[in-house]
Structure 1
Amino acid sequence: MDEMRGLLASEVAQRRLDRLASHFCEANLAKEEKVSREVCAKPFQRSVNPTILANLMAGGYPADRQKIFDFFISRPDLETPVEIAKAEHRELAFKQLKALVNEASIHPMKLLMEDPARYFTITEAIGFIDVSLGVKLGVQFSLWGGSVVNLGTQKHRDKYLEGISNLKFPGCFAMTELHHGSNVQGIQTTATFDRMTDEFVINTPNDGATKWWIGNAAVHGKFASVFARLKLPCPDSHLDTDMGVHAFIVPIRSMEDHSVLPGIEIRDCGYKVGLNGVDNGALRFRNVRIPRDNLLNRFGDVSRDGGYTSKLPTINKRFAATLGELVGGRVGLAYGSVGVLKAASTVAIRYSLLRQQFGPPNKEEVSILDYQSQQQKLMPMLSSAYAFHFATEYLVARYAEMKKTHDDEIIADVHALSAGLKAYITSYTAKALNTCRESCGGHGYAAVNRFGTLRNDHDIFQTFEGDNTVLLQQVAGDLLKQYKRKFTGGALSVTWTYLRDSMSNLSQTNPVATHREGYTHLRDPRFQLDAFQYRTARLLHTAALRLRKHSKRFGSFGAWNRCLNHLLTLAESHIESVILAKFNEAIERCEDRQTRKVLNMVRDLYALDRIWKDIGTYRNQDYVSPNKAKAIHRLVEYLSYELKGAAGSLVDGFGIPDALLRAPIGLQSGQYSEYSHYVGFE
C-alpha cells in the first residue's frame, strides 16, 4: 500500500502545476463571472424539434418500433383493459405474443441471435403495450430460448429452435428456488446420471429446492430449462460426485393434450403485486427421467459411460461461463426500465403542463409545472430518462459486440456493466414512479392513468435477474480487481479506463477549481465528469484501504460485510460516471445545433443534480467550497426552471403514441375530454 501511495504522489506534482496555471488567469475568471450574471438574468432561448429528438431517441431501428406500434394500434382487441382478472390477463398476454409472432411477423428469437440491438428495440416497444407482454416475451425468447441457444449445442438448436421461435414450444427458465435466488451456486435440485438407462433423473430433494416464480410454468409452458446439480455415480463409493450447476431441458406438459407429465408437480404462484399477465408457477420433480441428450452441454458433457468432459477445468469456471451467457436478461431489464420511466415521465409532465392551480392575485391560474417544487420533482427525472437512454444504448451495442466476438475482455465488461446499469436504473425508476403518481395528485391515483400499473409491474425489476444489492456488489468487486490491476501493471478494461487518471488526483484538491463557481465552469462537461470520476476514485481508494484493514481482524467475508454500504455507494458512483460519459458522447453525435443545445442543458441538469444530492461527499473532501456548493444548487433550480419550457417537446421526443400510452391525463391533446369520456360523460 505504501508503494501505491508513492506512485500516486509521483504522478501528482506536474499535473497539479499544469492545472493550477490554467486556472489562475484573473481575466478569464472575471469574464466567466460576468457571463454567469448575464445568462442567469436573461432566460435561455430554448426550442427543440420533437421530430429530430424522436429520430435521435428511436435508435438504429425506428421502422421496427413503428411496425409494432402500428400493429397494436390497428388491433384494439389486443389492448389490455384497465380492469382485468388474473386468468384473463394471462390468456390475453399469450394471445398478444402469438399475434406478434404469427400475424405481425416479428421474429424475436431470430433477432436475438442475429441482431441483439434490434431485439432490444422491439422489447422496449412491446413494453409500452403491456409490461406483462414484454416480460412474457423475455421469458420465452431471452430466457428459455436463450438458454437453449447459449448453453446448448447444435443438436439442441436443431431440435428446439424452430418450435421456440414459432411458439409451438412455449417454455420456462427454472433457475430460482424457494430457498435460493441470488445464490444460484447453492441451488439444491439434482440431476443424477443413470448409466443403466442413459438418462438423467431430476429430483427436488426438499421443500426449499422447489423451483419458484417460474414464468410460463403455471399455465402455458411445455418445457423448462431446469438448473440442477449434476451428480455422477462414483464407482468407488456409494456417494455421487457433484459436478456443479448445469442446465437440462425437461418436458413438463404433454404436447398432445397439455396435461402435466408424470413425476412433475406444478402449482400456481397466484396473484402478484404486478405482472399478472405472466403465469408464474412453482415446480417439483419426483424421479423425472430425461434423455442424456437433454443436458445443455456447451460447457460440460457426460458420455454414455458416465464420463465427464469440459474445456473449463473447474466448477467455478463452468458456473461463471454459464451465467455469463445469460447476461442478456439484465440488459433487457435495464433497457425496459428506461421505457417505463419514459412513459411515466410523459404522463406526469404533460399533465403538469395542462393542470392549472392558483396564481398571482387577480390573474389567471398558472400550470403546476410553473411551481419550483414541481420542476424539482420532474425535470431531473426527465434528464435522467435521457441519460439512461443513451447509457443503455451503449450497453446494448456492447452486448451485441460481445455476442459477435466472444472476446473475454468484452464479456467481463458487459457482465459488470449490465449488472450495474440494471441495478441503478431499475432502483431509480421504481422511486420515480411514486414521484410521478404523487406529482399528479388525485388523478395520478386513477388506475386509467396507469401509474399504479406501471409501478406494480415494474417493481419486480429490482429483484429478478439478480437482486440489485447483490448486483451492485458484483460491480464493486470488479472495481476492486481493476484497482489492483492498476498497481500491478495490468490493462484496464474499457469501461474503467478513466481510473488511470482519476486515481492520480486524490492526494490534494485544486484550490482555484474548488472555489470556482461561474456558470460556464459549472456547465463545463469536463468539470462535471471530473467530479463524478473523482468521487468514484476516492471511494475506490478508501474502500480498498478499509477492506485491507478489516480483513486482518474479521477475514475477507467479515471485512466485506463491514464495508458493504461503502461498496454499494462506490458501485452507484461508478455507474453514474459511466452514464454521464455516454450522455456526453451521444450529444457529440447529435448533428442538429439547436437540439444539441437543449440536450446540453438536459445533461447539465442530470450531472449537477447528482453532484448536489451528494454535496456532502464533495464538501468533506474539499472538492467544492461552500459558495460553489450554493452556486451548484442555484444552477440546478435555474436549469429545472429553464427546461420546463422545452419539457413538452422533450417528452414528445420519446415517441410514444397516445394510443399506446393510453393514460387520459398524459395525452398530447384533449386530456380532459378523454378523461371525462372514460367515466361516462358524453
Structure 2
Amino acid sequence: MQTPNPDPTPDDDESQSVARRIQRLSLHLTPIPSPLDDGHQIERVECAKAAAKLNVDTDSLSSYMRGKHREIQDRVLDYFNKRPDLQTPVEILKDDHRELCMRQLTALVRDAGIRPFRYVAEDPAKYFAILEAVGSVDMSLGIKMGVQYSLWGGSVLNLGTKKHKDKYFDGIDNLEYPGCFAMTELHHGSNVQGLQTMATFDPITDEFIINTPNDGAIKWWIGNAAVHGKFATVFAKLMLPTHDKRGVSDMGVHAFIVPIRDLNTHQTLPGIEINDCGHKIGLNGVDNGALRFRSVRIPRDNLLNRFGDVSRDGKYTSSLPSINKRFAATLGELVGGRVGLAYSSGSVLKIAGAIAIRYSLLRQQFGPPKQPEVSILDYQSQQHKLMPMLASTYAFHFATLHLVDKYSEMKKTHDEQLVADVHSLSAGLKAYVTSYTAKSLSICREACGGHGYAAVNRFGSLRNDHDIFQTFEGDNTVLLQQVAGDLLKQYQEKFQGGTLTVTWNYLRDSMNSYLSQPNPVTARWESEDHLRDSKFQLDAFRYRTSRLLQSVAIRLRKHSKTLGSFGAWNRCLNHLLTLAESHIESVILAKFIEAVQNCADASSRAALKLVCDLYALDRIWKDIGTYRNVDYVAPNKAKAIHKLTEYLSFRVRNIAGELVDAFDIPDYVTRAPIAMQSDAYSQYTQYVGF
C-alpha cells in the first residue's frame, strides 16, 4: 500500500489530478466491464419498477427506537396529559407563560415526583430522556429545566467540590434554590476567554468582589434571572492582588456562586441590578434577564474550585499548569448542554415531521381525470420535501443516542481521550442537527400549505422556540470551526503512528484511499445492489471528508505564509465549515448503519435499511459535484444515484405512516389537529367553533 504523505505539495496534487483525467479519458476509449453480477451487464435502476410494500412491525420498531427509558418518559407525558391546568395554551402572554412554566416545573418535581437533578451525574441518559419528554410538553419548560439542572445545577456538580454539593444539592433538586448560569455577556458570547466580569480577591475580608467593569460586561440572556432565580453561577476573571507594580494577576476565567435574591423575601440583593431582556422570538416561558454587579462581595468558599483554588492567604493552586488548560477543563465539563440540545433538537424534528407527514397522508388534492383525488404525499415533489427529512430524523436519532452513551461513559471514566472526543462530537452534532432542524421546520410548514400557517397546528411555535438552538450553548458556526480545528489537529499530530480516538480512526484508511487514485471501475458501477451497499456509501462519505481535510491543510499552509494563521483561517473558513459538516455526516451515517445491523427484528431492520439508504444516497446526490470533480463517480453512476434516490423516496413514502407511528408520539403531545390519527378535520373545525 502506498505510504500516505501527510504534507504533499500542490504540484503533487496537480500531477495526481492530471493522471486521473488521463485515466478517465482512456476509459471512454476502452470500456471496462463490471465484475458485478457474475459478469452480467450492469442493471439500471428503474424507479418506476413496482416493489412490494414493506410490512413494518411498528411496535417492534418503536421499542427499538425508544429504548430503556420509555417508562419514565411515559410517566412525564401521562402526568401532563392528566393536568389540563398545566398545559400551555396556543395564545398566552409572556408573563403568564413564565409563571405557568415555573408551575409546570414545580409540579413535575414536587407533585409527580420526577427528580431530574439526581440523574444529571448518576445516569445522564435518563436525564436526557426526561428532558426530551418535558420539551415535548412545552419547549420553554424543557429549557427552563435545563437551566436549573444542567446549567446551574451542573456547574455546581461539575465545577465545584464536595462542600458545594453538600450545601446546594438538595435545594437545587427540590427547587428551593432556583438558579442561573451567568456566562454570556453583552459583548462576549462565543469568546468565553474574553469575558470582562471580574472577581477580585480581598485577603483582608476573605471574600471575592464581583464587578461589572463596563456595559459590555453586563451578563445577558441569562435564563431564570428576570423573575425566578435566587442564585447565579457567574463566570468571571479571577484577579489576585500582587506585591509588584501590576497590582493584580489575572488567573483566567473561573466560576463563582453569587446569591442574587433574598431566599425569603425574593428581593434583589444589594449591589445587584437585574433587568428583563423582554419579549423574544420564542421561548417566552423562560425569563431571560441581564445582570450587573457593583462590588458584590461573596465568601471565598463560593469559588467553584475543582480546577483552581485560592487559600486564605491569597495563594492560587491548581492541578492544571496553565490558564488555557484550566479553561479547557472547565468548558469540557459543561458539554452536557450541547448534548441535550442535539438530542432535543432531534425530538423537535420528530414532532414536526409527524405533523407534516400525517397531514400529507390525509390531505387529498387533484388527481387523474374522473378519478378520486390523491394524497399529497403521492406527489413526487412532496416526497422530495419530506422523505429525506424523515430519513434524517431517524439518522439523527441514532447519532444523538450514541452521543448520549459516550457522554455517560465519559462522566463515569473521565478518560482524557473520551473527554476530547465527546467535546468535538457534541459540538458537531449540536451544530449540524439544530441547523438541519431549523430549516426543516420551515419546509414542514410550507408542505402543509395554509393549514400549516395556523398557530394551532404548531409549526410557528416549534420554529420560533427552536430557532435559538442554533445559537445558545455555542454558535453553530463557531462550533463547526472547533470540529474542523480538531480534525486538523488529528491530521497533523496523530496521522503517522498515533492512536486516533474512536470517532476519528477511519481517517487513516480513508486518507490512504484519497491519496491513491479513485478506482475507475467502481466509479462506474451503478447497480442497485452496489449503490445500496453500506460500504460504498460510507466509503464515499469518508473519502469526501479525507479529501477536504487534505486540501484545506494545504491551503492553510500556503496562506499562512502571507496572511498569518488568523488570516489564513479566515480565508479558508467556508472550506473548514464544509469539512466539519462532512465529518459529522460521516459519523451520523456510521451510527445509522450500526443501528440497522444491530436491530434484531427482521421487519424493523428492513425498514431501517431502506431509510438508511435514502439518507446516504440523498446526501451523496446533494454533493454530487464534489464526487464528479474528482471522478469518484462517473456520469452514468451519478444519474443512477439520482434515480435511485427518487425511487427510495417513493418506497419510504409507502411506509411513512408506520415510520412516524414508530416515534410513538401520542396525539396529546403533537396536539396539532391536522396531525390527529383520526377525525383530524373534525377536531380542526371544532377548534374554530363549528
- Would you say same fold, with TM above 0.5? yes
Q: Secondary structure at the match of 2:275?
A: strand
Q: Is the 8 A contact 1:485 1:492 kept in 2?
A: no
Q: Is the 8 A contact 1:268 1:280 kept in 2?
A: yes
Deviations 1:386-417 (A, max 9, x none): 00000000000000000000000000000000
In the aligned structure 2, how far is the partner of 1:162 from the partner of 1:32?
71
Partner of residue 574, structure 1 = 583
Q: Secondary structure at the match of 2:654?
A: coil
Is residue 341 of structure 2 the alignment partner of residue 333 of structure 1? Answer: yes
Task: Please state how far the C-alpha of 1:250 moved relative to its aligned partner.
Answer: 0.2
Task: Please state how far the C-alpha of 1:198 moved relative to its aligned partner.
Answer: 0.4
Task: Please state how far the C-alpha of 1:31 moved relative to its aligned partner.
Answer: 4.5
Partner of residue 183, structure 1 = 191
Q: Is the 8 A contact 1:32 1:519 kept in 2?
A: no
Equivalent positions of 1:115-514 (< 5 A) are 115-237=123-245, 239-506=247-514, 507-514=516-523
Partner of residue 4, structure 1 = 6
Task: Please state how far the C-alpha of 1:118 moved relative to its aligned partner.
Answer: 0.6
Equivalent positions of 1:660-679 (< 5 A) are 660-679=669-688
The residue type paired with residue 553 of structure 1 is T
In the aligned structure 1, how far is the partner of 2:199 from the partner of 2:483?
32
Q: Is the 8 A contact 1:473 1:567 kept in 2?
A: yes
Q: Is the 8 A contact 1:33 1:519 kept in 2?
A: no
Is residue 534 of structure 2 the alignment partner of residue 525 of structure 1? Answer: yes
In the aligned structure 2, how far is the partner of 1:32 from the partner of 1:414?
46
Task: Please state how far the C-alpha of 1:237 moved relative to its aligned partner.
Answer: 2.8
Partner of residue 23, structure 2 = none
In the aligned structure 1, how far is the partner of 2:118 from the partner of 2:446?
41
Q: Is the 8 A contact 1:202 1:289 kept in 2?
A: yes
Task: Please state how far the C-alpha of 1:487 moved relative to its aligned partner.
Answer: 3.9
Q: Of 92, 104, 116, which residue of structure 1 is paired with 2:112?
A: 104
Partner of residue 610, structure 1 = 619
Partner of residue 549, structure 1 = 558
In the aligned structure 2, how far is the partner of 1:562 from the partner of 1:102?
54
Q: Is the 8 A contact 2:506 2:542 kept in 1?
A: yes
Q: Is the 8 A contact 2:4 2:511 kept in 1?
A: no
Partner of residue 24, structure 2 = none
Q: Is the 8 A contact 1:218 1:269 kept in 2?
A: yes
The residue type paired with residue 475 of structure 1 is V
TM-score (norm 2): 0.95
Q: Is the 8 A contact 1:354 1:367 kept in 2?
A: yes
Task: Please state how far the C-alpha of 1:236 moved relative to its aligned partner.
Answer: 2.3
The residue type paired with residue 515 of structure 1 is R
Q: Is the 8 A contact 2:34 2:525 kept in 1?
A: no
5+ long unaligned stretches in structure 1: none
Deviations 1:96-115 (A, max 9, x none): 10111111111111011110
Task: Please state how far the C-alpha of 1:40 moved relative to its aligned partner.
Answer: 5.5
TM-score (norm 1): 0.96
Identify if the C-alpha distance between structure 1 residues 32 and 161 changes in structure 2 by more than 3 Å, giving closer, same or farther: farther
In the aligned structure 1, how far is the partner of 2:165 from the partner of 2:41?
63
Q: Of 48, 55, 65, which residue of structure 2 is paired with 1:47?
A: 55
In the aligned structure 2, how far is the partner of 1:188 from the partner of 1:645?
57
Partner of residue 94, structure 1 = 102
Q: Is the 8 A contact 1:369 1:375 kept in 2?
A: yes
Q: Is the 8 A contact 2:197 2:217 kept in 1?
A: yes
Deviations 1:243-286 (A, max 9, x none): 10000000000001100000000000000000000000000000
The residue type paired with residue 538 of structure 2 is L
Deviations 1:553-604 (A, max 9, x none): 1111111111000000000000000000000101111111111111111001
Identify if the C-alpha distance between structure 1 residues 494 and 238 changes in structure 2 by more than 3 Å, giving closer, same or farther: closer
In the aligned structure 2, how far is the partner of 1:425 from the partner of 1:6?
34
Q: Is the 8 A contact 1:377 1:435 kept in 2?
A: yes
In the aligned structure 2, how far is the partner of 1:330 from the partner of 1:66?
24
Deviations 1:500-553 (A, max 9, x none): 100001131111111111111111111000000000000000011111111111
Partner of residue 622, structure 1 = 631
Deviations 1:289-323 (A, max 9, x none): 00000000000000111110000010000000000
Identify if the C-alpha distance between structure 1 residues 667 and 29 changes in structure 2 by more than 3 Å, giving closer, same or farther: farther
Partner of residue 642, structure 1 = 651
In the aligned structure 2, how far is the partner of 1:501 from the partner of 1:666?
46
Task: Please state how far the C-alpha of 1:667 moved relative to its aligned partner.
Answer: 1.3
Task: Please state how far the C-alpha of 1:41 moved relative to its aligned partner.
Answer: 1.8
In the aligned structure 2, how far is the partner of 1:422 from the partner of 1:677?
39
Task: Please state how far the C-alpha of 1:117 moved relative to its aligned partner.
Answer: 0.6
Partner of residue 88, structure 2 = 80
Q: Secondary structure at the match of 2:274?
A: strand
Q: Is the 8 A contact 1:420 1:572 kept in 2?
A: yes
Identify if the C-alpha distance between structure 1 residues 144 and 32 changes in structure 2 by more than 3 Å, giving closer, same or farther: farther
Q: Secondary structure at the match of 1:232?
A: strand
5+ long unaligned stretches in structure 2: 21-26
Identify if the C-alpha distance between structure 1 residues 29 and 638 changes in structure 2 by more than 3 Å, giving closer, same or farther: farther
The residue type paired with residue 632 of structure 2 is Y
Q: Secondary structure at the match of 2:167?
A: helix
Deviations 1:175-228 (A, max 9, x none): 000000000000000000011100000000000000000000000000000000
Q: Secondary structure at the match of 1:185?
A: helix
Q: Is the 8 A contact 2:53 2:655 kept in 1?
A: no
In the aligned structure 2, how far is the partner of 1:521 from the partner of 1:451?
39
Identify if the C-alpha distance between structure 1 residues 527 and 259 changes in structure 2 by more than 3 Å, giving closer, same or farther: same
Name the stretch that deviates more: 238-247 or 319-328.
238-247
Q: Of 561, 571, 576, which residue of structure 1 is paired with 2:570?
A: 561
Partner of residue 535, structure 1 = 544
In the aligned structure 2, how far is the partner of 1:26 from the partner of 1:301?
67
Task: Please state how far the C-alpha of 1:30 moved relative to its aligned partner.
Answer: 5.1
Q: Secondary structure at the match of 2:176?
A: coil
Name the stretch that deviates more: 101-110 or 385-394.
101-110
Q: Is the 8 A contact 2:42 2:525 kept in 1?
A: no
Q: Secondary structure at the match of 2:503?
A: helix
Task: Please state how far the C-alpha of 1:28 moved relative to its aligned partner.
Answer: 2.0
In the aligned structure 2, how far is the partner of 1:26 from the partner of 1:394?
37
Q: Is the 8 A contact 1:116 1:396 kept in 2?
A: yes
Q: Is the 8 A contact 2:34 2:42 kept in 1?
A: no
Q: Is the 8 A contact 2:34 2:521 kept in 1?
A: no
In the aligned structure 2, how far is the partner of 1:32 from the partner of 1:339?
45
Q: Secondary structure at the match of 1:282?
A: strand
Identify if the C-alpha distance between structure 1 residues 32 and 140 changes in structure 2 by more than 3 Å, giving closer, same or farther: farther
